[in-house]
């Protein structure tokens, strides 16, 4: 899958001066994403250790890190990918897709941003499915570790870009609507 193309993202940020209280919504979103950034770093470290041959519990450590990361978008997609932390991530993306993005879309200037972010959730989900498949494949065929390392790097690139974009573009509408505070 091609990486998320930043140049095609709609942009609106910077059009409104928010009060300190209104900025709290964007700050909250950033704190949630910081938690996910930590988990992504753990996943990257686990995969690197596995590639270097000192992965501790090996594939199990990689899959555990992945399961903590996996935002599923619908119940039928969960199929065991996520464990307890995945439920939180599922809730996070479900709230965004079902509540936050539709609310933001009521502000016409921000509707294209909300739509784009929802599309990017699907891309992130594809990455997670690919990583889970590769983690299992590496267990059966250790020569595929380079594929797993590449897949983690691709996820990191898209997920971090997605977080940055969402934090930049959603802070204003969240603050204007009083969401997330």
Domain assignments of the chain as residue spans, ordered by start? 20-177
Taking residues 47-71, what's their average pLDDT?
A: 62
* Superfamily per CATH, domain 20-177: nmb1532 protein domain like (1.20.120.520)
Is a pLDDT exceeding 50 seen at residue 121?
A: yes
How many angstroms separate the most distant Cα atoms in the chain?
Answer: 55
User: Of 111, 89, 86, 84, whose CA–CA distance to 100 is shortest?
Assistant: 111
Taking residues 130-138, what's their average pLDDT?
A: 77
Those residues whose C-beta lies under 8 Å from the C-beta of residue 159, and which sit 6 or more positions away, are 36, 40, 124, 127
| Cα–Cα distances in angstroms (integers) from residue 33 to residues 48, 49, 54, 149, in the given order | 22, 24, 29, 22
Segment 1-25, tens digit of pLDDT: 788 999 999 999 888 899 999 999 9
Taking residues 94-106, what's their average pLDDT?
A: 90
| Cα–Cα distances in angstroms (integers) from residue 158 to residues 62, 152, 176, 177, in the given order | 19, 10, 27, 27
Backbone angles phi, psi at 27, to 5 degrees: -65, -40
> Band of the pLDDT at 90, cuts 50, 70, 90?
low
């Amino acid at each position: 899958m091609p990486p998320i193309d930043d140049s095609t993202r709609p942009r609106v940020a910077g059009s409104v001066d928010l009060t300190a209280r209104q900025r709290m919504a964007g700050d909250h979103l950033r704190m949630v994403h910081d938690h996910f950034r930590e988990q992504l770093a753990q996943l990257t470290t686990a995969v690197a250790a596995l590639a270097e041959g000192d992965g501790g519990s090996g594939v199990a450590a990689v899959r555990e890190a992945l399961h903590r990361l996996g935002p599923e978008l619908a119940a039928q997609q969960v199929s065991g990918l996520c464990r307890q932390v995945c439920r939180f991530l599922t809730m996070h993306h479900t709230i965004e897709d079902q509540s936050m993005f539709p609310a933001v879309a009521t502000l016409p200037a921000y509707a294209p941003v909300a739509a784009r972010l929802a599309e990017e959730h699907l891309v992130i989900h594809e990455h997670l499915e690919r990583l889970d498949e590769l983690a299992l494949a590496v267990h059966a065929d250790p020569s595929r570790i380079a594929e797993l390392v590449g897949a983690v790097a691709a996820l990191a690139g898209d997920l971090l870009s997605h977080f940055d974009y969402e934090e930049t573009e959603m802070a204003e509408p969240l603050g204007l609507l009083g969401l997330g505070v």
